[in-house]
Amino acid sequence: MSKAAVIYWSQTGNTEAMANFVADGARAAGAEVDVIAADGSEVDVSSYDGVAFGCPAMGAEELEDAEFAPTWEAAKGALAGKKVALFGSYGWGDGEWMRTWEADAKDAGLTLACDCVIANEAPDDEAEAACKALGAALV
């Protein structure tokens, strides 16, 4: 059985809702899934076949820097060869934070398993379906 992790940070609950949809999609595709709220500590990703990371746009369209960014930075080096996917919500801007984050992942040598998913504010039906598809892509 494939094993996946969904690691996220959420301020308003929108990205948390997306994380749960991602987990639902991975479970429906047959994976055992752990959903982990990022708190700034390192998460051991070595035992996972696929890992999804979720973070909303913060400040000037950037990753949350106190709790999420340290978790992402610590995990990045251990993700080579794994299925990786990114998602998050935003309330302003045009998704620049996700394009920057995708570039950071590619600069680290990671190959994304699917297109990233972004939702404006709370995920709507389309974003829910995209999150579930993202979760399935981890399996």
Residue 1: predicted pLDDT: 85
For residues 19 and 54, is the Cβ–Cβ distance under 8 A? yes
Residue-wise pLDDT for 83-134, tens only, equals: 999 999 999 989 999 999 999 999 999 999 999 999 999 999 999 999 999 9
Residues recorded for the chain = 139
The whole-model pTM stands at 0.97
Residue-wise pLDDT for 10-34, tens only, equals: 999 999 999 999 999 999 999 999 9
Residue type, 133: A
- Collapsing DSSP to helix, strand or coil, 35 comes out as strand
Q: How far apart are CA 22 and CA 133, in angstroms?
A: 7
Is residue 139 predicted with pLDDT exceeding 90? yes
The angle formed by the CA atoms of residues 100, 81 and 8, to the nearest 5 degrees, is 50
Q: How far apart are CA 52 and CA 23, in angstroms?
A: 9
